Amino acid sequence: MKKSSFCDETVNGYTGYIDIEARHLFFYFFESRNDPDKDDVIFWTNGGPGCSSSLGLFMELGPCRISDANGTKFHPESWNNNANIFFIDQPVGVGFSYAEYGEAVGTTEEAAKDVAAFVAIFFENFSKFKGRPFHMAGESYGGRYVPVFAAEVYDQNSKLVKAGMTPINLASIMIGNDFEYIFIGASMYDMVCTPASVPPLLGIGQRVCANEASGCSAAVTFCGNELEGPFWATNLNPYDLTRECDGDINDTLCYPIIKQIASYLDLPSVRSDLGVDPTISSNFSSCSYDVGTAFAQNLDEFRPTHHYVASLLERGVKALIYIGKNDWICNHVGNERWTLDLEWTGGDEFRKQGLREWVVQGQTAGMTRSAKGLTFATIEGAGHMVPYDKPKEALEMVNRWLARKEL
């Protein structure tokens, strides 16, 4: 790893690899702009599965953004305004992370072991941050990743103590536009056939057909043929129903900035500055097809993850679930349902709370519900990438969370 002024010249920054035997995980780390000697530490991962956290760094919440393929621009609403934050390319095979001897990762549970080891080594190397409140954050498939990763970090603490090491002070998880398959799939109907966020987008025929579907097999057939097919034909952005897709979704994910990020990270001078292993000669890919395929073949997305959230809450680890109102693919309807259905000792108190407005600079930012360490929040005018669409509101939300204040 190397110290660098890359991306944010106002703070200490570090980039490079942490090695777990033959697996090499690449990361970017930026100290807080406020008080790095006292502020909390945030872990960030993007989803996919198989997408690089360079997307979160350069597009959403990092200290700089890619303005074009040749350089970066200072980002005033970065989440390192009041926290020390690192972005990790995981699992191996994603971004600049790699493994020797053909090793690969195909499930979230396996990836969690590497991430927990990474976190332990990280705090040993950056020892002044030991014992700080630690928050594990991510978005989209990060809703599958983060609870499992956090559980592994929590469970690893007993081993660290036995080894004479400082345990990780896991304070919370923060998940944006969570992918919880069981709830999200069913709620896609609500998003395009009812005015849940925008006026209904599909015709009456599709809406009637949805009500006639029953049973798992019928539901899958309906979703594929009668709901998702007509939606994709609209050319609307699945990450933001208020926009058309900009470019080929397989090429740009509907956001051309993603191609600019890849072009920037392909520059030899940038790779040298970052300390990227020179044996990685291939063009940078924002999302790995091979990793995504491996997870799909193992049916990883169908494994329920909300039980991990409940177990973390029972152990005093708080959870923030925040959702952009305009997202279709990981929408607020399904996310609210799973938080309300969650079985844990604080569940009844959480369900008693009505949704209320939360406000930023005198303007309604969204709706929220909170009790016993669990907070659900929506963000008006935001899609899948909340910090990209609403950077001021996203930063205010995170700052309040870190300060242990209600939204």
Q: Is 384 a catalytic residue?
A: yes
The candidate with the shortest Cα–Cα distance to 325, out of 347, 358, 298, 296, is: 358
The candidate with the shortest Cα–Cα distance to 190, out of 389, 370, 374, 336, is: 336
SS3 category, 353: coil
Out of 32, 53, 140, 288, which one is annotated catalytic? Answer: 140
Out of 24, 187, 384, 389, which one is annotated catalytic? Answer: 384
DSSP 79: G
Angle between helix 306-314 and helix 142-162 axes, rounded to 10 deg: 40
- Bridge partners, 51 (sequence order): 287
Q: Is 178 a catalytic residue?
A: no
87-131 pLDDT, tens per residue? 999 999 999 999 988 889 999 999 999 999 999 999 999 999 999
Domains of the chain: 2-180+256-402 (3.40.50.1820), 184-244 (no CATH)
Give me the tens of pLDDT residue by residue for the chain, a chain 407 residues long.
666 677 888 999 999 999 998 999 999 999 999 999 999 999 999 999 999 999 999 999 999 998 776 789 999 999 999 999 999 999 999 999 999 888 899 999 999 999 999 999 999 999 999 999 999 999 999 999 999 999 999 999 999 999 999 999 999 999 998 876 555 555 555 555 555 555 545 554 444 444 444 444 455 555 555 666 677 778 889 899 899 999 888 888 999 999 999 999 999 999 999 999 998 878 899 999 999 999 999 999 888 899 999 999 999 999 999 999 999 888 888 899 899 999 999 999 999 999 999 999 999 999 999 999 999 999 999 999 999 999 999 999 999 999 999 88
CA distance 10 to 269: 21
Q: What is the pTM of this model?
A: 0.90
- Bridge partners, 357 (sequence order): 367
The whole-number pLDDT of residue 68 equals 73
Q: Is 327 a catalytic residue?
A: yes
CA distance 157 to 136: 15
State CA 213 to chain mean position distance.
Answer: 32
CA distance 136 to 118: 13
Residue 106 has a CB neighbour count (10 Å cut-off) of: 19
Strand (E) positions, 271-345? 318-324
Out of 327, 332, 370, 389, which one is annotated catalytic? Answer: 327
The whole-number pLDDT of residue 224 equals 55
